Amino acid sequence: MVTSSICQERVWFISGTSSGLGRALAEAVLEKGEAVVLTARNPQKVEELAAKFPDRALVVQLDVTKPKEVQDAVKQAIDYFGHIDVLVNNAGCKIVGLIEELSDSEVRRQFDTNFFGVLETLRAVVPHMRKQRKGHILNISSMASFMAEPGGGFYIASKLALEGLSGTLHYELQPFGIKVIIVEPGNFLTNFPVSSIFVNDTQIEEEEYKAFINDRRNEVSERGMERSRLDEPGDPKKAALAMIKIVDSEHPIVRLALGTDAIESINYGLEYIKRDLDAWKELSISTDCDEVVANKT
């Protein structure tokens, strides 16, 4: 379907809008009066929301691990609205398992969703934003980027890769008026633990390893059955409003932490790195060439 005229409202393209932060953000944007491309692997899950805003919502099937679906989804969005102003790479999953044990296919599944799916979407959308000479890109990372969680190594690695990509993209797209923002949420009361975290059994007969995996499985199970503000203190609606506010800002920051737990985890991670950096500073600088040392003195 092609609209007869270019949509005048700001258009958001959000991946993973069937639940969680993606759903909360889509609802907040639509209620604000702007337009949203509601993407989901199962489009039926967002049709009810789209029906409430028939002139400003477009439902598109999208599995970010399938490049053709990414290209088709972006084309549908451009054909329908005429432009994309805000891209939110929100779709993601978490595969829990031991670094020693997870199979190559499981590792690829993790990166295909959290990293390569984002990369594919960026490559499809950025050319349109460059032509516009404006736009915003929000890449949803995690406070886990500053943590080391047993069993979560590949999830963390995928988010760290996304952070590195996003930081560079921020500078590359500055000349085109495109803002790139890394969003680092803490724990929010969504169905992410139930629908998007997959815990693998360990086959290695080591009690220490089994303890790690059992702890992760119990954590996911408890959050699925007895989720509370103590375990997941974040309010998805407030997170959505915060993301809208940063996009509305004339000078948005590069990193946006969401939640008290995110602030605490990121601060702890930075302090941990700084502590080791300071403790071994003399050894670190001792590796400079003699000529460099002489110039400094």
Helix, strand or coil, per DSSP, at residue 181: strand
| Two structure tokens written together for 117 | 């799916």
| Two structure tokens written together for 153 | 């190594």
| 18 given a catalytic annotation | yes
Task: Catalytic residue, from 15, 18, 19, 265: name it.
Answer: 18
User: Which is it for strands 11-14 and 35-40: parallel, antiparallel or unpaired?
Assistant: parallel
| 131 given a catalytic annotation | no
* CA-to-CA separations, 215 to 129, 143, 209, 221, in angstroms, rounded: 44, 19, 10, 10
| 32 given a catalytic annotation | no
Contacts of 123 (CB under 8 A, 6+ apart): none
Let me know the angle formed at the C-alpha of 63 by 1 and 19, rounded to the nearest 5 degrees.
90
Q: Is the CA virtual torsion 234, 155, 112, 105 positive or negative?
A: negative
Contacts of 36 (CB under 8 A, 6+ apart): 11, 12, 13, 14, 17, 26, 29, 30, 53, 56, 57, 58
Task: Catalytic residue, from 155, 158, 166, 179: name it.
Answer: 155
DSSP 58: E
Task: Catalytic residue, from 19, 145, 158, 159: name it.
Answer: 159
Q: In angstroms, rounded to a whole number, what is the distance separating the alpha carbons of residues 213 and 220?
A: 11
User: Which is it for strands 197-199 and 94-96: parallel, antiparallel or unpaired?
Assistant: parallel
Task: Catalytic residue, from 15, 19, 141, 265: name it.
Answer: 141
Bridge partners, 256 (sequence order):
183
Which sequence positions are flagged as catalytic?
A: 18, 141, 155, 159
